[in-house]
Amino acid sequence: DIVMTQSPDSLAVSLGERATINCKSSQSVLYSSNNKNSLAWYQQKPGQPPKLLIYWASTRESGVPDRFNGSGSGTDFTLTISSLQAEDVAVYYCQQYYSTLTFGGGTKVEIK
Amino acid sequence: EVQLVESGGGLVQPGGSLTLSCAASGFTFSNYWMHWVRQAPGKGLVWVSRINGDGTSTSYADSVKGRFTISRDNAKNTLYLQMNSLGAEDTAVYYCARDGGAARYWGQGTLVTVSS
């Protein structure tokens, strides 16, 4: 099974500042058929299901603000919130879909 | 509009059984793999099981293999999760999600509590 490791576990950032979340997979999630990384990022707020933000490691889901950006390839990936807004307070998860589904442990983002 | 609505959760005693349902609408249900994902209180997301479009291929997390059975009824646009030999570690909100590579659509979840 592919293990996803996220860091940090929590993060406090001032409004308007950058938040960076890292995710590492135990093996490559590069899908050879399309040369894209099978890596997604989700946002989850209390009492709600996860919301898809990014797929194929860097493709923003429709309607997601452009302050959310995904990057990385192979086994190392990053979610960046370029200018943190109050409504971005949430837990963020990475997920690989190369082989069934595996989630990272989550990163709680708070306002400093 | 794609909708996924879970039901069937509740309080069950250790060793008991429960069947969850996920009613799907707004898309051609039989065209999609479907997943069950769970989240224990205050914890992260854990994949539980998946099934292909015609129900002929299934897979399970090691933690539920042999105890849980995923199935679907495409005529009723409904996904199921039969859960047996439940233990406290199975207490969680159970979500169904539509596959599409990344899971774009999720239900609101149904809470399963295993306790005496």
The string over B45-72, giving b where at least 16 C-beta atoms fall within 10 Å of a residue's C-beta and e elsewhere, is: bbbbbbbebeeeeebbbeebeeebbbeb
Partner-chain residue, chosen from A40, A44, A103, that has the shortest CB–CB distance to B47:
A103
Closest residue in B to A91 (Cα–Cα): B44
Mean of the per-residue pLDDT values of chain A: 97
- The answer to whether the beta carbons of residues A27 and A75 sit under 8 Å apart is yes
pLDDT digits (tens, 9 = 90+) for B32-71: 999 999 999 999 999 999 999 999 999 999 999 999 999 9
Look at A49 and B47 and tell me if their CB atoms are within 8 Å.
no
pLDDT at A100: 86
Q: Which of residues 44-83 of A touch B (CB under 8 A)?
A: 44, 48-50, 52, 55-56, 61
- The answer to whether the beta carbons of residues A71 and A78 sit under 8 Å apart is yes
* Percentage with pLDDT > 70 across chain B: 100
User: How would you write B8-57 as a 3-class SS string?
Assistant: CCEEECCCCCEEEEEEEECCCHHHCCEEEEEECCCCCEEEEEEECCCCCC
pLDDT at residue B19 above 90?
yes
pLDDT digits (tens, 9 = 90+) for A14-70: 999 999 999 999 999 999 899 999 999 999 999 999 999 999 999 999 999 999 999
pLDDT at residue A112 above 90?
yes
- Mean pLDDT for the stretch of residues A87-110: 96
Distance from chain centroid for Cα B110: 9
pLDDT at residue B101 above 90?
no
- Mean pLDDT for the stretch of residues B83-90: 98
Closest residue in B to A39 (Cα–Cα): B102
